[in-house]
A and B are shown apart, each in its own frame.
Chain A
Amino acid sequence: MASASSHSNAVRPAILDEVNPVDIPRQACVANDRSFNWITEKICGIVEEKTPTWWWVCFIIACCTASFTFVGLIYLAVTGVGVWGLANPVNWGWAIVNFVFWIGIGHAGTLISAILCLLRQKWRTSINRAAEAMTIFAVVCAGLFPVFHVGRVWFAVYPGYLFPFPNANAIWPNFRSALLWDVFAVSTYGTVSVLFWYIGLIPDFATVRDRAKTKIRKIAYGIVAMGWRGSNRHWSNYEMLYLILAGLSTPLVLSVHTIVSFDFAISLVPGWHTTIFPPYFVAGAIFSGFGMVLTLMLPLRAIYGLDDLITQYHIDCMTKIILATGTMVGYAYGMEFFIAAYGANGFEVFAFVNRAFGNYAWAYWIMISCNVISPQFFWFKKIRENTTLVWVITLFVNVGMWFERFVITVTSLSRDFLPSSWGYYSPTVVDIFTYLGTFGLFSVLFLLFLRFVPLMAMAEIKAVTPQADAHHH
């Protein structure tokens, strides 16, 4: 300050020079000063221990639930898409709702591993592996719906009305269609997520291989570890690759949900035809994805005693992201109303009044209470520290985001331009069971992941501990 006042006639120096850096206390990413060896033992222990009884119980329940999806889809393929509740005027029902819901769930995984990696958020290391697994399994569940909604699913891949293969009629897919952009976006997203996940796993597979007691384990983990041995010449290329993949996944994750939102936004249906959709869908996806990450990680933390690795600091960070994105989503809901009123388009105004007070008002208000009101509790530290409450709120977030997609899809279609063609959409039993089954499918995959793959990125966690710094004393 003294220097600024003594040069009163001179050009004022940059304000940044006057600000003293505040020492922000760095939160430890691993509590209780755990050693490298402790981290290895803890995480490998989960893969190496005898399969616990609870795992088998959950696995069997999950398999039974997953069978709903398979029975539903086989029934659909044999009978036709009429078994779903789709009819005029609502030709897009639960299938697209479930698709967008599951894709959205996936986004937190990529966000944690990519965007937080670029932002050098060290707390991502404890949760990125499980979140990425969640992403992949969510994309698997999501992919089922658009593939099966075409009915004759065996034509979807070849001879190609989804993928551009030269087909029997020599007609190509329509590249002007957002639905085809979706095919490319989602399949690229799925592929890159799997690759990113696997690349992150290589060093940890090597750790499991090195600790393996039986020959089968040694060979199996040896193959997937690719002969990794932790050479620094390898780490050098590996780290560069990881950074590049993070840099590639960041625009990817944003583009995927943007393109998903184009499915709606480039149409002319009132309530869909809005420019706020891309950012609003992305915020919603991150919101629901983080909700699901916490829904999954909090029970795991309790079961496996991972409190030192998923600390209160991690939970705080995630709940704050949920709070921020939930508030953004709330802003988008308000802004849609404002633009409808300001745009002075009668159909648009009606679409939004109808959403809030029409025949689907129940769904709208479930959405508002779950998505806008429930995350606001995260302003309070007391609530963020109560894991049970956090878990319950994240369940509300998941429910709310499903309803958001339902509200967008169904309310706009059920009452559009002509009152003579209005209708009321209800799902059928097949719709409901197919959807419930995807939770089973997701759980089956996630449980297998828990059994065979290190749950957390050991090498990365070790690298963010204080003793990993060569200048640490």
Chain B
Amino acid sequence: MADKFGILAKFDTPADIMHAAEKVRDAGFKNWDVITPFPIHGMDGAMGLKRSWVPRFTICGGTIGFLTGMSMIFYTSATDFGIPFLSDGYQILIGGKPLFSPYFAFPVSYELTILFSAFASIAGMFILNKLPMHYHPALKIDKVNEASDDKFFLYIEANDPQFDEAKTRSFIEGLHPVEVSDMEE
């Protein structure tokens, strides 16, 4: 007998799963989740989730990108010292234009700001979601495949502090799901 991972309930409509999620949130469970084919509007509130942390990655990435652009252009076109084993700056005077000015450095820095922000945000999403995650107990159960089509699932994990085999099961059944089943580790 494999270890028990949690209890899984299946629902038919977005409204059903939303109301169920509100009740699970109010009951004070911590380790639980819902699986839906698309992001349901209002579900974050129903689950009591805080605002995502992804924007913090974006601002870091953007700042680093802008500074990278500016300092790269400053180094390459307005200095003449070398970074050992790496590269030298090289001053070229073109048409009496200044060796460095934030104006001509702006377009490239701007593009790098966007590029680095995009990379950082994506990395942020992957880190926060722990993706790629090619193993998860939910992926092992065939019927959870329906969650990427038109069905909605909710599970409470066995490692939740409040989890109690019998009580939790009867609590979940009280949410009026279509079907309740066990999840194995």
Residues of A within 8 A of B (CB): 35-37, 40, 164, 166, 170-176, 178, 180-181, 184-185, 188, 191-192, 195-196, 199, 203, 206-207, 209-211, 222-223, 226-241, 244-245, 248, 251-252, 255, 259, 262, 459-460, 462-463, 467-472
Residues of B within 8 A of A235 (CB): 36, 38-40, 43
Tell me the smallest distance from the CB of B174 to a CB of chain A, in Å.
19
- B88 touches A (CB below 8 Å): yes
A230 to B47, CA, bound (A): 15
Could you tell me the distance between the alpha carbons of A233 and B53 in the complex, rounded to whole angstroms? 12
On whether the beta carbons of A171 and B92 are closer than 8 Å, the reply is yes
**CA of A393 to CA of B21, assembled, Å:** 50
| B residues at A contact (CB < 8 Å) | 13-15, 17-18, 21, 33-44, 47, 49, 51-55, 58, 72-73, 76-77, 86-90, 92, 94, 97, 104-105, 107-108, 110-112, 114-115, 117-119, 121-122, 124-126, 128-129, 131-136, 138-139, 144-145, 147-150
Contacts of B52 in A (CB 8 A): 236-237, 239-241
The interface centre, meaning the residue of A174, A175, A211 with most chain B CB atoms within 10 A of its CB, is A175
Contact of A252 among B108, B114, B139 (CB under 8 A): B114
A37-B149, A241-B125, A467-B14 are known contacts. Are A460 and B38 too (CB-CB below 8 A)?
yes
Say yes or no: A229 contacts B39, CB within 8 Å.
no
Kindly list chain A residues whose C-beta atoms are within 8 Å of the C-beta of B114. Answer: 188, 192, 248, 251-252, 255
User: What is the distance, in angstroms, from B143's C-beta to the closest C-beta of chain A?
Assistant: 10
Q: Secondary structure of the B side of the interface?
A: helix
Question: How distant is the Cα of A175 from the Cα of B34 in the complex, in angstroms?
Answer: 51
Contact of B94 with A229 in the complex, beta carbons under 8 Å = no
Contact A181 B107 (CB under 8 A): yes
A-B contact pairs, 13 of them (CB 8 A): A185-B107, A230-B38, A237-B52, A240-B125, A241-B122, A244-B55, A245-B118, A248-B58, A248-B117, A255-B114, A262-B107, A459-B38, A467-B13
Q: Is the CB of B139 within 8 A of A174?
A: no
- Chain A to chain B: the 3 pairs with minimum beta-carbon distance, closest first: A36-B150, A166-B87, A240-B52
A207 to B41, Cβ gap below 8 A? no
| Most chain A CB atoms below 10 A, which of B38, B125, B126 | B38
- The reply to whether A206 and B129 form a contact with Cβ atoms under 8 Å apart is no
Which A residues are in CB contact (< 8 Å) with B117? Answer: 244, 248
Q: A222 to B134, Cβ gap below 8 A?
A: yes
Q: Is the interface of A mostly helix, strand, loop or mixed?
A: helix
Q: Which residue from chain A places its CB closest to the CB of B131 in the assembled complex?
A: A226
In the complex the two chains form, is A462's CB within 8 Å of B37's CB?
yes
Smallest beta-carbon distance B31→chain A, Å: 11
A229 touches B108 (CB 8 A): no
Closest-CB distance, A460 to chain B (whole angstroms): 7
Report the separation of the CA atoms of residues A222 and B148 in the bound assembly, to the nearest whole angstrom.
Answer: 13
Counting chain A CB atoms within 10 Å of each CB, the highest count among B58, B121, B131 belongs to B121
Q: Which residues of B contact A236 (CB under 8 A)?
A: 39, 44, 49, 52
A468 touches B15 (CB 8 A): no
With A207-B148, A210-B148 known, 18 other A-B pairs at CB within 8 A are: A37-B150, A40-B148, A164-B76, A175-B76, A176-B77, A184-B111, A192-B118, A195-B122, A227-B134, A233-B49, A233-B129, A241-B52, A244-B121, A248-B58, A259-B111, A470-B14, A470-B42, A470-B43
Contacts of A259 in B (CB 8 A): 107, 111
Residue pair B133, A185 in contact (C-beta under 8 Å): no
Given contacts A174-B92, A175-B108, A470-B42, contact A237 B128 (CB under 8 A): yes
A205 to chain B, nearest CB (A): 10
Contact of A255 among B58, B105, B107 (CB under 8 A): B107
Provide the bound-state CA to CA distance between A241 and B124, in Å: 8
| Choice from B34, B42, B55, B112 contacting A240 with Cβ under 8 Å | B55
Q: Which residues of A contact B21 (CB under 8 A)?
A: 232
Q: How far is the CB of A282 from chain B (nearest CB, A)?
A: 15
Measured between beta carbons, the chain B residues less than 8 angstroms from A472 are: 14-15
Contact call B108/A210, Cβ cutoff below 8 A: no
CA gap between A252 and B42 in the complex, in Å? 30
Q: Who on chain B is nearest to A459 by CB?
A: B38
CA distance A223 to B133 in the complex (A): 10
Indicate whether A174 sits within 8 Å of B35 (C-beta atoms), given known contacts A248-B117, A470-B18, A470-B41: no
Known: A234-B129, A463-B39. A175 touches B15 (CB 8 A): no
Min C-beta distance of B137 to chain A, whole Å: 10
- Which residue in chain A gives the minimum CB-CB distance to B82? A170
